[in-house]
Amino acid sequence: VILTSMVKRVDNAIYESFKQMENGTWKAGVVNLGLKENGVDWALDSNNRSMISPEIEKRVNAAKQDILSGKVKVVDYREASRCPL
């Protein structure tokens, strides 16, 4: 059973690119958007709502806040070239 998945917020990436084009600040290149930039999130919708208890939702959102605050460090495999475990 898969309870949830991630959401890649391509809509937000495109919107930001359009805004940069509009104000003349757009530059070609790779841009990584994470939780902080609202580029990714976890999926909670009608397909899994009944499987996610309020306690689990609270814990996932707490983990998300810990990542955003820097309390939990997410290692970018592309930068480290290895898994930290």
What's the confidence (pLDDT) of residue 11? 95
CA torsion, ordered 27, 30, 33, 39, to nearest 10 deg: 90
d(CA 85, CA 63): 19
Provide the whole-model pTM. Answer: 0.74
Chain centroid to Cα 11, Å, comes to 13
The answer, yes or no, to whether residue 80 has pLDDT greater than 90, is no
Tokens of 67: 């990542």
The per-residue pLDDT for 1 is 66
Take residue 76 and report the two structure tokens written for it: 């970018």
Q: Is the dihedral of CA 31, 66, 72, 41 positive or negative?
A: negative
Encode pLDDT of 26-68 as tens digits.
999 999 899 999 999 999 999 889 999 999 999 999 999 999 9
What pLDDT, on the 0 to 100 scale, is given for residue 44?
Answer: 92
Among 42, 47, 38, smallest CA distance to 14 is for 38
pLDDT, tens digit, 9 for 90 and up, residues 13-24? 999 999 999 999
15: enclosing H helix or E strand: helix 10-23
Q: Which residue has the higher pLDDT, 77 or 3?
A: 77
Provide the pLDDT for residue 5. 84
